Copies of this chain bind each other. A is one copy, B any other.
Amino acid sequence: LSLVPVPAHVETSPGELPITSSFSVAIDGYQEPRLDRAVERLERQIARQTGLPMRIGRGDTATATLIIRCDHASKPVQDVDEDESYDLEVRPDKASLTAPNPLGALHGLATFSQLISVTPGGFAAPAVRIHDAPRFPWRGLMIDVARHFMPVDVLKRNLDGMAAVKLNVFHWHLSDYQGFRMESKKFPKLQEMGSDSNYYTQEGAKDLIAYARDRGIMVVPEFDVPGHATSWFVGYPQLASAPGPYRIERRWGIFDPALDPTRKSTYSFLDGLVGEMSKLFPAPYFHMGGDEVNGKQWDSNREIQSFMQAHAIKDNHALQAYFVAHMEEIVSKHHKILIGWDEVLSPSLPASVIVQSWRGQSALADAANLGHRGLLSYGYYLDLMHHADEHYSVDPMSEATASLSPEKKKLILGGEACMWTEYVTAENLDSRLWPRTAVIAERLWSSQDVRDIDSMYRRIGRINWELELLGLTHRTSMDAMLRRIAGQDDVNSLWVLAQTVEPVREYDREVLATQRDALNSGAALNRLVDAIPPESKSSREFAHLVERYIASDFRDATTEKYIRAQVTTWAENDARLQPVLAGSFVLKEDAILSTNLASIANIALEALNYAHSNQIPAADWVAEATRTLEDAKKPQDDLVLVVAQPVEVLVQAVSKAKP
C-alpha cells in the first residue's frame, strides 16, 4: 500500500476491487449536498487517475461499488474537536466507507482514491480494512500571501492537495509589511492603498472558504499586529507609533513600524476590523500574528513612553502583553479564540489563547504549563529548503513537550507547515509546497512510530505524481521555467545540472540577496534556484549508491556500474551545457557550477578507477581532490552542488581502503 498519511490500522486481505467505467458511489444514512459534491469529486478524480470515462453523480445503493454511510452531520462550522475517524472496507465485490460524520467520510474518500492503482489485470483497489483517525486534531498549512500575492485559483489547487493528505486547517497569512490582502469594506484604504491592487475580495474569500469547507478544511485568517503592519499605515498612518507617511514596504526583513498600543483609537479600529473579519470567516479562531516587534518606534515615541510610565508598563515586552490582552478582549467579544505566535506568551495571557510556535517544542511546553493550547511550526518552515526527511523527524510531542504531564499533553493540538513567500511566487509556490507538505501531514496524522524514511520517500514518490492529476503544478512549472530561462526547448543538459544542485538553506538566501541587492519584492524570481525542486532526488539516490559501494568494499560491480554511468553523464554534460548557459543572461552565473560538476565527476571517475583496481591514491591526489570538492561545495548563485558531498565520501573511502 502506498498511502500518505499512513492510516492508524490497516488489515489487508487477498483480492482486489476492480475499478471500471461502471464504478459508482451511493450515500446511505445521513445525507447532505457536501457529500454529493465529494462523490462527484471522487469520480472526477478516478477519471483522471485512470483515463476511464466515468459517470458523474450519485449511484444507486443496490448496485453501487462504494457505499458511504454517515451517522450524523458535522458541526455547521468546522472545529478541531470533531471526530475525524472513518472505517473503510474494500472487498473484491464492493467497498464501504463508514464515518460518524461527513468530515470523516471526506478523509475516507481521500484514502480510497489513493488505494486505486493500475495492475496487470486492470485498475483496482486492493482488499483492505482500514480504521483511521488522526493523531492530532490541528493539521495545518500556512501560506503567506502578503509578500507575494497568490491568486485564488492557486490557493484552491493547493487546498485540493491539502485535502488529499488530510490536512484540515488553512492558515491564511493575509497581511504583513508588504501588503494587506483582504478587502475591508469598513476600512477600504487598507486594500486600496496597501495592496498594489493585489487583494482578495470578500466574495472571493467566501468562495475559497466554501471550497475549503467542501474539502474538510477550516480557514483561519491571520492579520499580523502590532508589528508586520506597514501596509496598514499607508492608508491609516494614525495607527502607527510614528507619524509617517508610509509606503508599502518593498524590502524583506524586520522593520520598525508598529501599531500604537497606547491609543484608544487603535483598539476601536481593531475592533471594527476584527468584527468585520469575524463575520466573514466562520472559523472560531482569529490569528493576530504578534511576532517580531523590534520596539524601535515605541522607544522613540514620547507619548508612548509617558503612557508606559503612567501605567507602570516596565518595558516593550510588557507593552506588547498589554496590547495582546486588549486584542484578546476584542477577539473574544467577536466570539473568536485568539491565536498568536510565540511572542504573545506572557504570564498574564488569558488561558484561552493558542500559541503557535516557530521557536520550538520548549516554547510549546512553556505555554502548555501556563494552560495554553499550542501548535508546532518550528521545523515545518518549508521556505527554509529542508529535505522531506528533516521535516519528517520533527514531532510536536518530542523534546520538551514529551515530558509534559498527560493532561498538559492534551493541549498540544498539532502543527502547521508554514510557507513564507519572500522567494516564492504563484509560479513556484506548488513546487516549494509539494511533496514536502505531505510529509508533515503524515507526521501530524499518523502514529508517532510511523517513521521509516525509505517507506516515506517511496510513498511520497507516488503522491508526487498523483498530486499533479489534481491540478497541482509543482513539477510541470519547473520544466516551463527551465525552458524559459534557457530560451530553448531542449533543456536536457540543464536538467542534468539542475538535478545535482539544491537551493541554499535556512536564511542563506537572505544573506546572499543582500549582497546582490535583491532583498526586495521587485527582484525577479526567475533564476535556476527558483526553478529547481528544494530537494535533489538524484543526489539522495547517488549518495545511497556510494554508501552501498563502499559497504561492499568496492566489490559490488553492479553498483559500480551505476555510479560510473551517473558520473560519466555529469562529466560529459559541461561541454553540452556551456553554450546554453552562455546564451542566457539568467544562466550565465551558473557556468561555474557546471564546470564544478564536471570536475567533481572526474574526481569520482578517478576514485572509481582506484577502487576498481584495488589501488590507494597518493596523498597528493587525495589532498587536491578534497580541495576541489570543498571548493565545489560552496554556495554559488544561491545554489549548492549537493552531489559533491557523496563524491567526497567516496574519495575518503577510497583513500582509506585496504588494498
CB within 8 A of A118: which of B21, B480, B486?
Answer: B486
Q: Interface-forming stretch among A369-377, A520-528, A625-633, A643-651?
A: A520-528
Q: CB distance B489 to A51 under 8 Å?
A: no
- In whole angstroms, how far apart are the Cα atoms of A122 and B485 in the complex? 10
A123 vs B486: C-alpha distance in the bound complex, in angstroms?
11
**Chain A window 505-529, contacts with chain B (Cβ cutoff 8 Å), 1 for yes, 0 for no:** 0000000000000000111111000
Given A51-B484, A481-B51, A522-B21: A489 in contact with B469 (beta carbons within 8 A): no
Query: A52 to B525, alpha carbons, bound, how many Å?
Result: 7
Give bound CA distance, A203 to B646, whole Å. 60
Task: Judge whether A621 is part of the interface by a CB distance below 8 angstroms.
Answer: no
Specify which chain B residues have a CB less than 8 angstroms from the CB of A332 in the assembled complex: none
A473 to chain B, nearest CB (A): 8
Of A269-277, A437-445, A577-585, which binds chain B?
Answer: A577-585
A523–B485 alpha-carbon span in the complex (Å): 41
Q: Does A526 lie within 8 Å of B479, measured CB to CB?
A: no
Kindly state whether residue A483 has any CB partner on chain B within 8 Å.
yes
Q: With A21-B522, A464-B489, A489-B464 as known contacts, state yes or no: A50 contacts B119, CB within 8 Å.
A: no
Smallest CB gap from A473: residue in B:
B476
B530 touches A119 (CB 8 A): no
The digit string for A106-121, where 1 denotes a CB below 8 A from any CB of B, is 0000000000011111
**Neighbouring B residues of A582 by C-beta, 8 Å:** 120
Asked whether A462 is an interface residue with its Cβ less than 8 Å from the other chain, the reply is yes
Contact of A120 among B56, B486, B584 (CB under 8 A): B584
| B585 and A122 contact, CB distance less than 8 A | yes
Does B465 contact A51, Cβ atoms closer than 8 Å?
no
Decide if A53 touches B524 in the complex (CB within 8 Å). yes
Size of the A side of the interface (Cβ < 8 Å), in residues, is 48
Query: B residues within 8 A CB of A588?
Result: 120
Residues of chain B with a CB closer than 8 A to A476's CB: 476, 479
For A56, A465, A584, the residue with the greatest tally of chain B CB atoms inside 10 Å of its CB is: A465
Q: Which residues of B contact A278 (CB under 8 A)?
A: none
Instruction: Kindly state the separation between the CA atoms of A465 and B48 in the bound complex, as whole angstroms.
Output: 24
CA separation between A521 and B461, bound complex, in Å? 33
Assuming the contacts A51-B530, A53-B521, asked whether A585 and B465 have C-beta atoms less than 8 A apart, the reply is no
- Bound together, the chains give a CA A208 to CA B96 distance in angstroms of 41
- Given the contacts A51-B524, A52-B526, A468 and B480 also touching, CB distance less than 8 Å: yes
- Using a CB-CB cutoff of 8 Å, which residues 432-490 of chain A contact chain B? 461-462, 464-465, 468-469, 475-476, 479-481, 483-489
- In the assembled complex, the Cα of A485 lies from the Cα of B489 at a distance in Å of 25
Query: In the complex the two chains form, is A49's CB within 8 Å of B484's CB?
Result: yes
In the complex, what residue of chain B is closest to A584 when comparing beta carbons?
B118
How far apart are the CA atoms of A530 and B50 in the complex, in Å? 13
Residue of B nearest to A462 (CB): B489
The CA of A582 and the CA of B21, in the complex, are separated in Å by 22
Bound: A499/B343 CA distance, A: 57
Contact of A469 among B120, B464, B475, B480 (CB under 8 A): B480
Given contacts A524-B53, A526-B52, contact A118 B464 (CB under 8 A): no
CB within 8 Å of B: which A40-81 residues:
48-53, 56
Chain B residues whose C-beta falls within 8 Å of the C-beta of A522 in the assembled complex: 21, 53
A584 to B51, CA, bound (A): 13
CA distance in complex: A485, B588 (Å): 39
- If A464-B489, A469-B484, A489-B465 touch, whether A119 touches B583 (CB-CB below 8 Å) is yes
The yes or no answer to A586 lying at the interface (CB within 8 A) is yes
| B585 and A51 within 8 A (CB) | no
**A585 touching B524 by the CB < 8 A rule?**
no
A224 at the interface (CB under 8 A from B): no
Q: Which residue of B lies closest to A116 (CB)?
A: B487
A590 contacts B by Cβ under 8 Å: no
A118 touches B485 (CB 8 A): yes
Tell me the chain A residues, 524-543 only, with Cβ under 8 Å from chain B. Answer: 524-526, 530
Mark out the residues of chain A between 118 and 165 whose CB falls within 8 Å of any chain B CB in the assembled complex: 118-123
User: For residue A56, which residues in chain B have a CB less than 8 angstroms away from its CB?
Assistant: 197
21 CB contacts below 8 A, A to B, read A50-B526, A51-B427, A52-B526, A53-B522, A56-B197, A117-B487, A118-B485, A118-B583, A119-B583, A119-B584, A120-B585, A123-B585, A462-B488, A462-B489, A464-B489, A465-B483, A465-B489, A468-B480, A468-B483, A469-B480, A476-B476
Sort A-B residue pairs by CB-CB distance and give the 5 closest, nearest first: A51-B526, A118-B487, A476-B476, A118-B584, A465-B483
Known: A50-B524, A51-B525. 5 other contacts (CB 8 A): A48-B484, A50-B526, A118-B484, A462-B488, A465-B483
